């Protein structure tokens, strides 16, 4: 079970060894070769929307269920540099440490969508940040929210903006 957003990002962008049925065919060797694949960010967006997997379907029973575990997430300075193509290729080829992140690699949280309820019956609410203040939005009701309530929610979607842009707002 992944309990933090950085751990989720690491899992999403880690190198994976392909199975025997997915081996790469090499024209030079004339045969299949063991290989790996790795996802990464080629270009980083100004606004980053991260969707956490909150629903699963059993392969055996075909029943859907909700994943209700807590995933910790940073409010400020989410670092995406280790998950970029450039950083991955530098560390893979030179055995070098990842360079320090620049402002374009860092993200600040500005919104959260939360699903309350079950697969059959649910409701969505959100938290949004305006400057240093957080607000809880529930249909037509908007009220101030404590940092503790924001930090402890079971996020479904997380909305980040590049740190260099969040200073302009």
State the CB neighbour count (10 A cutoff) for residue 138. 13
DSSP of 48-59, one letter per residue?
EEEE---EEE-T
β-pairing, 141-145 vs 133-138, is antiparallel
| CATH number belonging to the domain at 5-13+24-166, selected among 3.90.70.10, 3.10.290.10, 3.30.930.10, 3.40.50.10790 | 3.90.70.10
Q: Are 85 and 14 in contact (CB under 8 A)?
A: no
User: Nearest 5 degrees, angle CA 144-CA 9-CA 101?
Assistant: 85
The whole-number pLDDT of residue 1 equals 52
Residue boundaries of the structural domains of the chain:
5-13+24-166
Position 61 pLDDT exceeds 80: no
* pLDDT score of 38 more than 90: no
User: How deeply is 164 buried, as exposed, middle or buried, from its count of CB atoms within 10 A (0-12, 13-18, 19+)?
Assistant: middle
CA distance 67 to 150: 19
pLDDT 10s digits, 127-136? 999 999 999 9
């Amino acid at each position: 079970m992944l309990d933090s957003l950085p751990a989720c990002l690491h899992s999403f962008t880690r190198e994976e060894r392909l199975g025997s049925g997915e081996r790469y065919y090499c024209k030079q060797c004339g045969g299949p070769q063991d290989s790996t694949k790795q996802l990464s960010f080629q270009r980083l967006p100004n606004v980053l929307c991260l969707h956490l997997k909150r629903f699963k379907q059993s392969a055996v029973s075909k029943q859907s269920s909700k994943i209700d575990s807590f995933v910790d997430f940073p409010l400020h300075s989410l670092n995406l540099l280790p998950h970029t193509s450039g950083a991955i290729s530098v560390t893979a080829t030179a055995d070098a440490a990842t360079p320090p992140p620049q402002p374009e690699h860092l993200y600040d949280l500005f919104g959260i969508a939360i699903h309350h309820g079950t697969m059959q019956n649910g409701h969505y609410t959100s938290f949004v940040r305006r400057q240093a203040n957080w607000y809880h939005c529930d249909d037509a009701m908007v009220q101030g929210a404590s940092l503790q309530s924001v930090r402890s929610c079971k996020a479904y979607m997380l909305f980040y903006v590049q740190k260099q842009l969040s200073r302009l707002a």
